[in-house]
């Protein structure tokens, strides 16, 4: 942005500029609706509608290509078309295109420069197809032509929801198997590797975890569920809803495992939570599994010491405040400690839990951490990034999702463990 700003990249809040644009990308938020019809599932399209009305007002002549960049429900473009057509002007026309975004947080620039594909959906009349070619030529500046896919509008809109739903489904599938692994002695990393080696399946998005977070997966799957319900396809709706239910269950299961392992109570115990962002290399906390797990632990009376390299204190407070019940909310000030390092968070703690896969958590000095923790010291790896054998050798009692529970092998902690369970 620094390279381009002021040359061919400008920012403004002046909407009059829309009147001079050849192409307008509508890239506004489409959050899950939190009120009224479709509450908790449907996408809230008020910002899209407001954009369409502004475009209709400001673009008074010539041809304008309006592109849905935001993730929208299928047939949203029909609503945009209706709004644009409600303000008729003699010398102007619009084409509406769908060009969903597939980049992921933390790798956005890499994904932008080297996308797997660019998808452009357009109306199939002459003007629509011509506009589609204009947008294709824009991307063709840096994306090989064979990776630019063109479809009809509805296919493009649905493909965005479908891609996120299928990615989320893979995570829920592997997370469901992680529970089977724990119950049988199978190892979820080995299962993922074996399954992913099948070229028909592929190796990506098979990493078991405390559940997927982020602003997109839950929102888009729920949006698909809502669409299926609206289309009177209850079986299809239920099929996709299960992806979300499995994700909620995985989070709940992790918290319950922590409580059970720590002798069925965490009340008054210090627990270090390492990671608050929904994935590494971002400070974004939207729908992060850490929020749900932290709220559940607070409900049980735990004292949380939280560290994340990127998330601000204010953001953590805000998220916990929203997630906690009224009773627990009152305890946040007292029972939540925000720490400046993983070491500080673990100092004096009964347990630590890795909830975001930050690289720095892989190479911490766990021996030094162990020495500073209460005994028996518990390690919970919700991201499968730690060497659980090494941790057990240091003296930790280790629980890793999708792996057998590893008891501490060091003598000192065996002593403590036996004392505590006696």
Instruction: List interacting residues with ligand UGA (CB under 6 A).
Output: 71, 101-105, 164, 167, 171, 205-207, 209, 212-214, 216-217, 278-279
Residues near 209 by Cβ (< 8 Å), separated by ≥ 6?
171, 175, 250, 289, 357, 382, 383, 384, 401
In this complex, which beta carbon is closest to ligand UGA, that of residue 111 or of residue 414? 111
In this structure, which long-range contacts are made by residues 317-326, counting pairs with CB atoms below 8 Å and at least 24 apart in sequence? 319/276, 319/285, 319/288, 319/291, 320/291, 320/294, 320/295, 323/291, 323/292, 323/294, 323/295, 324/295, 324/298, 324/299, 325/295, 325/299
The nearest distance, CB 107 to ligand UGA, in angstroms, is: 8
Closest CA to 132 of 83, 76, 79, 66: 66
The nearest distance, CB 15 to ligand UGA, in angstroms, is: 25
In this complex, which beta carbon is closest to ligand UGA, that of residue 123 or of residue 287? 287
7 as an active site residue: the answer is no
Determine the number of helices (DSSP H) and then strands (DSSP E) in the chain. 16, 11
The nearest distance, CB 254 to ligand UGA, in angstroms, is: 12
In this complex, which beta carbon is closest to ligand UGA, that of residue 119 or of residue 349? 119
Across 81-93, b (16+ Cβ under 10 Å) vs e yields bebbeeeeeeebe
Residues, the chain, total? 422
Which is catalytic among the residues 33, 51, 68, 101?
Answer: 101
Block residue for tokens 């090989």: 144
Q: Which run of H or E residues covers position 94?
A: strand 92-98
Closest CA to 355 of 306, 404, 316: 306
216 as an active site residue: the answer is yes
Structure token digits, residue 336 = 């939540």
In this complex, which beta carbon is closest to ligand UGA, that of residue 292 or of residue 413? 292
Across 213-227, b (16+ Cβ under 10 Å) vs e yields bbbbbbbbbbbbbbb
DSSP string over 104-150: -TTSHHHHHHS-S-EEEEE-SSHHHHHHHHHHHHHHTTTS-GGGEEE
In this complex, which beta carbon is closest to ligand UGA, that of residue 143 or of residue 337? 143
In this complex, which beta carbon is closest to ligand UGA, that of residue 92 or of residue 286? 286
Which is catalytic among the residues 216, 228, 339, 346?
Answer: 216
The nearest distance, CB 100 to ligand UGA, in angstroms, is: 8
Pairing of strands 92-98, 270-274: unpaired
In this complex, which beta carbon is closest to ligand UGA, that of residue 103 or of residue 368? 103
The nearest distance, CB 214 to ligand UGA, in angstroms, is: 3
CA–CA dist 64, 359 (Å, integer): 45
The nearest distance, CB 292 to ligand UGA, in angstroms, is: 12
Query: Do residues 38 and 77 touch, judged by C-beta distance below 8 A?
Result: no
The nearest distance, CB 353 to ligand UGA, in angstroms, is: 15
Strand partners, 399: 380
Q: Catalytic site residues?
A: 101, 160, 216
């Amino acid at each position: 942005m620094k390279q381009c700003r002021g040359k061919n990249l400008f920012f403004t809040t002046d909407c009059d500029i829309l009147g001079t644009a050849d192409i307008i990308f509508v890239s506004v938020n489409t959050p899950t609706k939190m009120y009224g019809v479709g509450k908790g599932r449907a996408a809230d399209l008020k910002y899209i509608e407001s954009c369409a009305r502004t475009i209709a007002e400001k673009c008074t002549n010539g041809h304008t290509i309006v592109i849905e960049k935001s993730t929208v429900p299928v047939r949203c473009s029909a609503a945009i078309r209706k709004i644009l057509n409600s303000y008729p002007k003699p010398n102007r026309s619009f084409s509406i295109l769908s060009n969903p975004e597939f980049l992921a947080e933390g790798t956005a620039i890499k994904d932008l420069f080297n996308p797997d594909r660019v998808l452009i959906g357009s109306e199939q009349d002459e003007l629509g197809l011509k506009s589609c070619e204009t947008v294709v030529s824009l991307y063709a500046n840096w994306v090989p032509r064979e990776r630019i896919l063109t479809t009809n509008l509805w296919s493009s809109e649905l493909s965005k929801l479908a891609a996120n739903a299928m990615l989320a489904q893979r995570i829920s599938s592997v997370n469901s198997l992680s529970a089977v692994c724990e119950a049988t002695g199978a190892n979820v990393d080995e299962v993922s590797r074996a399954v992913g080696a099948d070229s028909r399946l592929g190796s990506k998005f098979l990493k078991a975890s405390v559940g997927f977070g982020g602003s997109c997966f839950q929102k888009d799957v729920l949006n698909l569920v809502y669409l299926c319900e609206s289309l009177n396809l209850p079986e299809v709706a239920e099929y996709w809803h299960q992806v979300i239910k499995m994700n909620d269950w995985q989070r709940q299961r992790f918290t319950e495992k922590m409580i059970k392992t720590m002798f069925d109570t965490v009340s008054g115990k210090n627990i270090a939570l390492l990671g608050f962002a929904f994935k590494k290399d971002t400070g974004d906390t939207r729908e992060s599994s850490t929020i749900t797990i932290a709220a559940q632990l607070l409900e049980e009376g735990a004292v949380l010491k939280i560290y994340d390299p990127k998330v601000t204190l204010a953001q953590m407070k805000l998220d916990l405040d929203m997630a906690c019940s009224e009773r627990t909310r009152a305890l946040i000030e007292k029972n939540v400690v925000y720490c400046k390092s993983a070491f500080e968070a673990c100092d004096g703690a009964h347990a630590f839990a890795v909830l975001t896969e930050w690289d720095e958590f892989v190479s911490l000095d766990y021996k030094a951490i162990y020495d500073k923790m209460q005994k028996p010291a518990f390690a919970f790896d919700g991201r499968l990034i730690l060497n659980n054998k090494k941790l057990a050798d240091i003296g930790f009692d280790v629980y890793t999702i999708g792996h057998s529970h590893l008891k501490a092998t060091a003598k000192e902690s065996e002593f403590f463990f036996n004392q505590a369970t006696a």
